[in-house]
Amino acid sequence: MTPARHATVTGAALVALYTAMISAADGITKLIAGGYAAPQLFALSSALVVGMALWAARRTGQGLAVRARRSMALRAGLTVVAALAFFQAFRLLPFADVFLFIGLMPLLAAALSGPLLGEPLRPIGWLALSLGAGGILCLMPGGQVGLDAGHGWALLAATSGTGSMLAARHIARAERKPLAQVFWPNLALMLVMGVALPFVWQPMALADLAWIAAYALCLFGARYVCAEALRLLPAFVATPLMNLQFVWMVGIGLAGFGELPAPGTLLGVALVIGSGLWLVADEALAPARDSLRA
């Protein structure tokens, strides 16, 4: 296997791992969002993630300073906006409705990767993305819904989240600092949410504190492997693979709750998986095609 193909396969595996961990974190967000304000969840969880990053940096000797300071500042700011917007969206909307907007992120990444990162999507890639978008629509159980404030928050979350990932890709191409990509955005989130924390604090049960600790652990792992995946894969390849979160939802429903997927759901899963594999294969074969054309 050539180095380019090995990097593509490794990046795809990391994205799959990311989707498992971030899906668990999203589930905890949905659980906690009904009882506490956003600053309480994010101030505590981000403080734990910052502590984990500092501990890991000391153990591995990996520095947290970066050369791309402006890009990191942009990533940190967009991460704060995305976290707050996702929290509000999960609080106001059904789980599946939020994921419909998450499904827009690959299209946003594909549209912006060319002008911002110099990584334009090939024509065949747009076809793969279209198949994936069709799969997402098949996975939506409720059909179209009326728009309200929750959908506005979800759109803001998808837009700012995509921007944060594009910034992460820009940083990762210049330097390999995955722990820094975890540390600085979460430090910004901790500081911003910490300002509001005294005004919204509510006493927490021990079980809820345990959920926040679990959320922080999932988030730390997810953001670390995401930074590594975005070093190995262009954003327009990585973000469609992140739609594997939908597949995790279907699998959890079947294994944990005995929810038998409908035929439309199975079709959606197949399209999401197929479009992601198509993009990975296209990216892996691109160097060989380019060398033949040269």
pLDDT band with cut points at 50, 70 and 90 for residue 186: very high
Average pLDDT over residues 44-55: 94
Q: Crossing angle of helices 123-139/95-102, nearest 10°? A: 170
Q: What is the pLDDT of residue 233?
A: 76
Statement: residue 72 has pLDDT above 60 = yes
Exposure string of 116-151, with b = 16+ CB inside 10 Å and e = fewer, is: ebebebeeebeebbebbbebbebbbeeeeeeeeebb
Total residue length of the chain: 294
pLDDT of 208 strictly over 80: yes
pLDDT of 81 over the 70 cut:
yes
Rg (CA), the chain: 19
Strands (E), the chain: none
Which residue reads 């953001």 in tokens?
A: 223
* 3-class secondary-structure state, position 175: coil
pLDDT surpassing 70 at residue 257: no
Backbone angles phi, psi at 125, to 5 degrees: -65, -35
The C-alpha atoms of residue 240 and residue 27 are separated, in whole angstroms, by 20
User: 10 Å Cβ neighbour count for 112?
Assistant: 18
Q: For residues 98 and 86, is the Cβ–Cβ distance under 8 A?
A: yes
Cβ–Cβ under 8 Å, residues 235 and 166: yes
- pTM for the full model? 0.74
Lowest mean pLDDT among 63-72, 135-144, 160-169: 135-144
DSSP result, 170-199: HHHHH---HHHHHHHHHHHHHHHHHHHHHH
pLDDT confidence bin for 195, thresholds 50/70/90 = very high
Amino acid at residue number 74:
L
Write out pLDDT tens, residues 105-156: 777 777 787 788 777 767 777 777 777 777 766 755 554 445 577 888 988 9
Asked if the model's pLDDT at residue 43 lies above 60, the reply is: yes
Q: pLDDT value at position 154?
A: 86
- Take residue 205 and report the two structure tokens written for it: 């049960």
Q: What local confidence, expressed as pLDDT, does residue 97 receive?
A: 67
